[in-house]
Amino acid sequence: MPKVPKERMIITVMLKQKLKKLQIRIKQPAAVVGVLVLVALLGVGSVPQLRPAKAATIQEQINELERQNAENRRQVAGLREQATSYQNAIAQLQAQINELQGKIDANTAEQNRLQSEIQAAEAELTKQKAVLGTNIKTMYLEGKISTLEMLASSKDLSEFVDKQQYRNSVQSKIRTTLDKITQLKFELTAKKESVEKLLKEQQGQRDQLAGSRAEQANLLSYNEGQQAEFNQKTKNNQAKIADLIASQRRANFSPDGGYYFLRFPGQVQAFDPNAYPYANSGFGMSPGGCVDNDGPDAWGYCTRQCVSYAAWAVLASGRTPPMYYGNARDWVAAAYSRGVTVTRTPEPGDVAISTSGYWGHAMYVESVSGSTFTTSEYNAYLTGTLSYQTRSY
């Protein structure tokens, strides 16, 4: 059987004596007596196996906040995808609006051109009507002259015929011009009405597209507001996580119940803490194990964690390293089960253990002075780096 430390034997005897006195003074229920006897038989080494309720609550809060953040990020990703569809719809609607506006502008220009032509035709029609009126008046006055008088006033028959033909030609030409101008005006008016109708339809389509675009823009604005809301929630949760992690850091430096010191057998040799072989390996703080490209290392721990460094430090100092002891808070119980000496007074070469916090903390004791001890350790600040600390015990 492994050798029981002297301190543990003394405490066990004291607990048994107290138990005996309690049994004499009062009658305890069998279940309570059984628990007390079990505690006495197990000794003080079993106590660190219990997980502090506060630490577990901290980690549960961190896990819940991380779950919320994962959901927030999923929602934002969906909203971004949705926002892209809104943006695409807006772009397509805007392209259609621009195309319609181009047609509207062209038809408006055509409408203006037709209006100008109509006005020109109306002016020409007015002019030709005036000419025709003058000619009709002239012909009317000439009509009062008898054919005999016109013949008499002509030099010869040929001149008489020319006068008659000219009068008939002018009259016919004016009437033809009037007919063409009237027909042109009719055609121009019909085209103008057609263009006006098309313009009205196109403007209606444009307004409808503009309404759809405004609706998409409102949806996009609401979407962006939701994204901002989820991003703010994530930011707030990250701040809460930072506060919770800060509480774990505080536990690393001010543990409830003080420190336990694990003394591994063998002669302690000097070594360089900077020679830790996993200094440039992956690092993460996921509670589910080495899932952040961070190991495990050669001794069964995640790289750049306090336990990985502590195990290596024992090996580097010339002794057999503790392998697969679990989180730092589990090392005291693991050491008891393997016959490793556990004490409350440090010596150089010990591994100091704090069982506070969700993971606990492991440190390598470099030196001892009075009621303080100096350590080399990894991840004291939860950043996966080496540091040196002086602590009181």
- Could you tell me the pLDDT band of residue 1, with boundaries at 50, 70 and 90? very low
Token digits of residue 333 = 């119980």
Question: Between these two residues, 276 and 46, which has the higher pLDDT value?
Answer: 276
Question: Between these two residues, 41 and 101, which has the higher pLDDT value?
Answer: 101
Which residues, including other chains, have CB under 8 Å from residue 357's CB and lie 6 or more apart?
52, 55, 58, 248, 251, 252, 255, 329
b/e code 171-192 from CB counts within 10 Å (16+ = b)? eeebeebbeebeebbeebeebb
Which residues, including other chains, have CB under 8 Å from residue 56's CB and lie 6 or more apart?
358
Does 29 have pLDDT greater than 50? no
Side-chain-facing half-sphere of 179: CA atoms under 13 Å = 6
Q: For 150-179, how does the pLDDT look when each residue is reduced to its tens digit (9 = 90+)?
A: 556 666 656 655 666 766 777 777 778 878
What percent of the chain is modeled with pLDDT above 70?
Answer: 75
Q: For 259-304, how does the pLDDT look when each residue is reduced to its tens digit (9 = 90+)?
A: 999 999 999 999 999 999 999 999 988 777 898 899 899 999 999 9
Domain extent listing, the chain: 63-250
| CATH-assigned architecture of domain 63-250 | Orthogonal Bundle (1.10)
Question: Between these two residues, 242 and 1, which has the higher pLDDT value?
Answer: 242
**Average pLDDT value for residue range 42-54:** 38
DSSP helix/strand/coil, 354: strand
Side-chain-facing half-sphere of 23: CA atoms under 13 Å = 14
- Could you tell me the pLDDT band of residue 142, with boundaries at 50, 70 and 90? low
φ and ψ at residue 279, rounded to 5 degrees: -60, -30
Question: Between these two residues, 112 and 310, which has the higher pLDDT value?
Answer: 310
- Could you tell me the pLDDT band of residue 58, with boundaries at 50, 70 and 90? low
* Burial bucket for residue 352 (CB in 10 Å: 0-12, 13-18, 19+): buried
Does 42 have pLDDT greater than 50? no
pTM over 0.75: no
Q: Which of 162-171, 220-229, 343-352, 360-369 has the lowest mean pLDDT?
A: 162-171
Angle between helices 6-25 and 30-42 (to 10 degrees): 160
Question: Between these two residues, 42 and 192, which has the higher pLDDT value?
Answer: 192
- Could you tell me the pLDDT band of residue 326, with boundaries at 50, 70 and 90? very high
Does 5 have pLDDT greater than 60? no
pLDDT recorded at residue 20: 52
- Could you tell me the pLDDT band of residue 149, with boundaries at 50, 70 and 90? low
